[in-house]
Chain A
Amino acid sequence: MAKKRKIPVTEIIVSILAPVLLLVIWQISAQKGWVNKALLPAVTRIFDTAVGISETGKLSGHLLASLSRVVKGFLAGASLGIAIGTLMGFSKWVNHFLSSLVSLLRPIPMIAWIPIFILWMGIGELTKISVITLGTFWPVLLNTIQGIRSVDNKLLEVAKVLKKKRKTIVLKVVFPAALPSIFTGLRLGMGAAWSCVVAAEMIAARQGIGFMITYARETAKPAEVFVGVFVIGLIGFFIDVLLRRLESHLLKWNTAGVSK
Chain B
Amino acid sequence: MNAEKELSLNIDHVSKRFLIDGRELNILDDINLEIRQGEFISIVGASGCGKSTLLKMIIGLENVTDGRIVIDGGEVTSSEEVKIGMAFQEARLYPWLTVAENIEFGIPDHVAVADRKALIKKQIGLVGLKGFEKAYPNQLSGGMQQRVSIARALVSDPDILLLDEPFGALDALTRINMQNEILDIWKKAKKTMLLVTHDIDEAIFLSDRIVVFSGRPGQIRQIIPVDSSRPRDRSSAEFVRIRKNIFKEFFAETDLDPEYYI
A158 to B85, CA, bound (A): 10
Minimal Cβ-Cβ distance residue in A for B107? A162
User: Which of A102-110, A171-179, A195-203 is the contact stretch?
Assistant: A171-179
Residues of A within 8 A of B61 (CB): 157, 160-161
Q: Report which of B84, B92, B135 forms a contact with A158, defined as CB distance below 8 A.
A: B92
Find out whether the CB atom of B105 lies under 8 angstroms from the CB atom of A256: no
Q: Report which of B85, B88, B96, B138 forms a contact with A154, defined as CB distance below 8 A.
A: B88
Residues of B within 8 A of A172 (CB): 94, 97, 105
Of B80, B85, B95, the most chain A CB neighbours within 10 A belong to B95
A157 to B87, CA, bound (A): 11
A68 within 8 A of B: no
Shortest beta-carbon distance from A180 to chain B in Å:
9
Q: A161-B59, A252-B136 are in contact. Are A177 and B156 (CB under 8 A)?
A: no
Q: Mark B7-34, 1 if CB is under 8 A from A, else 0.
A: 0000000000000000000000000000
Which residues A164-201 have CB closer than 8 A to chain B? 164-165, 168, 172-173, 176-177, 179
Q: Report which of B135, B136, B138, B156 forms a contact with A162, defined as CB distance below 8 A.
A: B156
**Which secondary structure dominates chain A's binding surface?**
helix
A8 within 8 A of B: no
Minimal Cβ-Cβ distance residue in B for A179? B96
Find out whether the CB atom of A155 lies under 8 angstroms from the CB atom of B94: yes
Q: Mark B101-113, 1 if CB is under 8 A from A, else 0.
A: 0000110110000
Q: Mark B73-106, 1 if CB is under 8 A from A, else 0.
A: 0000000100011101010101111000000011
Q: Contact size class for B?
A: 20 to 34
Q: A163-B108, A256-B138 are in contact. Are A176 and B92 (CB under 8 A)?
A: no
How many A-B residue pairs have C-beta atoms within 8 angstroms? Tell me: 59
Residues of A within 8 A of B92 (CB): 154-155, 157-158
Residues of A within 8 A of B138 (CB): 253, 256-257
Which residues B204-221 have CB closer than 8 A to chain A? none
A163 to B60, CA, bound (A): 11
Find out whether the CB atom of A162 lies under 8 angstroms from the CB atom of B139: no
Q: A155-B92, A172-B94, A253-B95 are in contact. Are A161 and B136 (CB under 8 A)?
A: no
Interface residues of B (CB under 8 A from A): 59-61, 80, 84-86, 88, 90, 92, 94-97, 105-106, 108-109, 135-139, 152, 156
Can you name 20 A-B residue pairings with CB atoms under 8 Å?
A157-B92, A158-B94, A158-B105, A161-B84, A161-B85, A161-B86, A162-B106, A162-B108, A162-B156, A172-B105, A179-B96, A251-B96, A253-B95, A253-B137, A254-B95, A256-B136, A257-B136, A257-B138, A257-B139, A260-B139
Interface residues of A (CB under 8 A from B): 154-155, 157-165, 168, 172-173, 176-177, 179, 251-254, 256-257, 260
